[in-house]
Structure 1
Amino acid sequence: MGVSFRFIHAADLHVDSPFRGLAEAPPHVREALQSSTFQAVRNLVETALREKVDFVVVSGDLYDTADRSLRAQLTLQREWQQLHAQGVRLFVIHGNHDPLSGGKADLAWPESVHFFGADKVSSVPAYTRSGSLAAYVHGISYGTRAVTANLASGYKPANMEGVYQIALLHGNVDGHAGHDPYAPCSLQELVGAGFHYWALGHIHQRAVLHTYPHVVYAGNTQGRHAKETGAKGCYLVDVSASHETKLQFIPLDAVRWETLRVSIEGLAAEQSLMDELERTALDALERCEGRPLVARVCLEGRGQLHGQLTNPGFALELLDGLRERIRQMEGPASLAETPWCWISGLAAETGAELDLAVLSEEDSFIGELLRGSYALEVDELQVLLGEALQPLSAQARLRKLVRSLQEEHAQLWLQQAREIAAGLLIEDAAPQREEKRRDETGQSAENRHDDAWQEGEPE
């Protein structure tokens, strides 16, 4: 039987992370983003003090680069000193972004901060504020950026019956797609290692991979670009004397990123589209709990406005118009106060009003084409794309980007190709298709319209 205690599990602070590609953003947006990782650290410390935790564990990537900025280091030093003054200890490992081999200033850190070395996995006791032994914390830092060895295999729980065991690891569990395979390991391996809680870092999307024992990614504390959407923060962990473990997610982000999806289905006019975009953006801002919002808009679905949206000039004007309408609704106070909303971009993934399912049943070239495209598996498309993009893949700097684009967009490209081809063929075949309908019904579309009007049906 142990003692009850409370701790925070955080990871991937990436303090002083640069924010690129925001040249169009107004100054207050750029300034908020540049300071957001620093503010997230302050929010972390405030949460630890408010929740009266016994200690904090940080699972790697405190800084964004190996040669960490002096500003970032001084910020952490100042914030950690606040925790030290209140008797809150910190246990920290370094990851692939901030390995111990990176350049750092010679600063005096509080005695309550324990940095794990890179030579081997080590363990240290963690105490409650009242001085009782709460847990043993185990960890190892990255000595260099690219650590491809299985670090998890070196973790062994302390031989202390009844004492909670926490393991800090910065690594990739089960080959998580889209992330470098640093310190690779398997979930089965972690579950069977004899620890009560694996405090993971490296993957920026929070996830509880297993409970009892708990295997947990805390995610990063602040989204850094358009793909890191949703609330970002840390886990507040309560452990009872019988080792019952309860997790509560606490948001720490200073600015939130979102992707807003808006369907054009049923929208017949530009005004209705603009109204729907504005409503969606403001609803998303309302859900940010007082935080400012940077949002990317993705238009989808089939509708009458698809033709206009294929025109790049129209899409740009739509984006500018949406930004202006939101700015007017926020008022001048938004330049200095939160919350505000900035639309970072607009993408159209829409389709024409084509019933591809019906067209694919036709005994025609269009039907044959669609049936063939549906039979084409994504894996086969990947092979074709790989062959087409082979010259780019030969370049080391482009290889990873090309692979990522193939994996992420293959299905979308196939859908777009299918719709573009069907749309063009429909337009080219329009006179013949109308002639066929005239032969089958004995009347033209124009005559049918006249008949409907004469019978009193709405136009």
Structure 2
Amino acid sequence: MTVPFRFIHAADLHLDSPFRGLAKAPDQVREVLSDSTFAALRQLTETAIRERVDFIVLAGDLFDEADRSLKAQLLLVREWEKLQEHNIAVFVIHGNHDPLNGARADLKLPGNVCVFGAERMEYRPAYRRSGELAAFVYGLSYGTRIMTENAAASYRIQPEGPFHIALLHGNVDGDGEHDPYAPCSLEELIGGKGFDYWALGHIHMRRVLYEYPHVVYSGNTQGRNPRETGPKGCYIVDVTAARAVELTFVPLDRVRWLEHTVPIETAGSEQELLQQLADAAELLAEEAEERPVMLRFLLTGRGALHHQLIDKAVVRTLLEQLQEGRQRHAGESWVYVYDLAVHTGAAIHWNELAAEDSFAGELYRLSERLADDEAQWREFAKDAISPLAGHSKIGRLLREELDELPAQWLEQARELTLSLVQGTDT
């Protein structure tokens, strides 16, 4: 048995993270993005105070760079001082982005903050704000940017602890989209080490890998690029006297990155499509709960507008119109459409074409045979470009491309050719 308590699990704050590739965005957009990681930090503090948590655990990458900015350090200490005023402790490990060997200002941390070192796993008691012992918290920071060894292998509980929380910044089960730092397996974390809650950092998508013991990625607190879509924030973790665990996700993000798919079948003109996109943007703004939204539209499906959307000038004009949008009042949330991607096709009835006794039908059946036989497709492609093979520069480029021969080339060639043969808009 233990006393009931509540804590926050957060990670990957990446304070002062730069936002690249948005030089053409309005000043308002760039200013809000630049402040967004700090705004998420302030929201974390406000959430901890409002929800009356007993302590916070931060599982690495508080800063975006090893040589962290003075601004980020000062603002973080200021937030920790606010937490100290409410008797809320903070337990911290550093990760690959902010290892302990990075340049730091000589700042005095408030007494409620415990930063775990990089020499060995350490543990500290965590108390309720009223003073009762709630748990032991364990952690190991990165001393340098790269940690290739299995840090979890060194974690051991202290049996006298009432509840055991392990902070780990690493890659569980080899997620291929992230660097393989501090690699370990889920089976290892749940297989008898005795920890009740693994508070993980490094992977920016929140996920609960296992329950009892809980193995949890909280994700990052603020999306920083188009790949980090959807709500970002932290988990409030409630532990009962019977050691039952309940997780509640709380969004902290100041700006939300979204991707939204819009089919073109029902749009009869560029004007209709533009209105559909504008309506979708407004709806997404409402669903973001008054947060600014960075939005990427993905146009899909088949329809009459496919021919117009092949023209980059048309797409660029639609994007410019969406970026201008409707005029919003000061302080009102905005939606900035930063990209309009086109993955559409012509309105071709493939099933009918497959059975059609015509030149177009024969072309379609040939493309199907090529799709099923890579060797035949390569030979066909080689013959098709042979008139250009003798050109000194073009020939070399084509030979390099043939080594790869992307599968989508065949699909694109089939659609373009059949659309032209049939007299269909492409």
User: Normalized against structure 2, the TM-score is what?
Assistant: 0.88
2:349 aligns with one of 326, 337, 355 = 355
Q: Quote how far apart the aligned CAs of 1:304 are.
A: 0.8
Residue segments in structure 1 that go unaligned for 5+ positions in a row? 382-409, 434-459
Tell me whether 1:190 sits opposite 2:189 in the alignment: yes
Query: How many angstroms apart in 2 are the aligned matches of 1:237 and 1:376?
Result: 53
Asked if the contact 1:360/1:368 (under 8 Å) is kept, the reply is no
SS of the equivalent of 2:148 reads coil
1:27-176 to 2 correspondences below 5 Å: 27-160=27-160, 163-176=162-175
Asked if the contact 1:356/1:370 (under 8 Å) is kept, the reply is no
Q: Quote how far apart the aligned CAs of 1:370 are.
A: 2.3
1:417 aligns with one of 409, 417, 423 = 409
- Structure 2 match to 1:389: none
Amino acid at match of 1:425: T
Q: Quote how far apart the aligned CAs of 1:355 are.
A: 3.2
Asked if the contact 1:303/1:353 (under 8 Å) is kept, the reply is yes
Task: Please list the CA deviations of residues 281-330 of structure 1 after superposition, one character each: whole Å capped at 9, or x if unmatched.
Answer: 11000001111111111111111111111111110001111222x233x2
Tell me whether 1:261 sits opposite 2:261 in the alignment: yes
Q: Quote how far apart the aligned CAs of 1:4 are.
A: 0.3
Amino acid at match of 2:189: L
Q: Quote how far apart the aligned CAs of 1:215 are.
A: 0.5
Query: How many angstroms apart in 1 are the aligned matches of 2:166 and 2:409?
Result: 48
Asked if the contact 2:348/2:419 (under 8 Å) is kept, the reply is no
Query: How many angstroms apart in 1 are the aligned matches of 2:275 and 2:164?
Result: 54
Q: Quote how far apart the aligned CAs of 1:358 are.
A: 4.6
Asked if the contact 1:121/1:138 (under 8 Å) is kept, the reply is yes
Q: What is the identity percentage for the equivalent residue pairs of Structure 1 and Structure 2?
A: 52
- Structure 1 match to 2:323: 323
- Structure 2 match to 1:179: 178
Structure 1 pair 360–142 and aligned structure 2 pair: CA distance change class (3 A): farther
Structure 1 pair 280–127 and aligned structure 2 pair: CA distance change class (3 A): same
Structure 1 pair 124–375 and aligned structure 2 pair: CA distance change class (3 A): farther
Query: How many angstroms apart in 1 are the aligned matches of 2:343 and 2:373?
Result: 22
Task: Please list the CA deviations of residues 147-176 of structure 1 after superposition, one character each: whole Å capped at 9, or x if unmatched.
Answer: 111111111111126x11000000011111
- Structure 2 match to 1:271: 271
- Structure 1 match to 2:226: 226
Amino acid at match of 1:81: E
Q: Quote how far apart the aligned CAs of 1:268 are.
A: 1.6
Query: How many angstroms apart in 1 are the aligned matches of 2:86 and 2:355?
Result: 72
Q: Quote how far apart the aligned CAs of 1:428 are.
A: 5.3
Residue segments in structure 2 that go unaligned for 5+ positions in a row? 379-403
Q: Quote how far apart the aligned CAs of 1:47 are.
A: 0.3
Number of matched residues? 393
Amino acid at match of 2:413: A
Task: Please list the CA deviations of residues 361-397 of structure 1 after superposition, one character each: whole Å capped at 9, or x if unmatched.
Answer: 66724213224325669xx99xxxxxxxxxxxxxxxx
- Structure 2 match to 1:368: 366
SS of the equivalent of 1:268 reads coil
User: Normalized against structure 1, the TM-score is what?
Assistant: 0.82
Query: How many angstroms apart in 2 are the aligned matches of 1:183 and 1:109?
Result: 27
Asked if the contact 2:40/2:221 (under 8 Å) is kept, the reply is yes
SS of the equivalent of 2:166 reads strand
Task: Please list the CA deviations of residues 23-80 of structure 1 after superposition, one character each: whole Å capped at 9, or x if unmatched.
Answer: 1111111100000000100000000000000000000000000000000000000000
- Structure 1 match to 2:240: 240
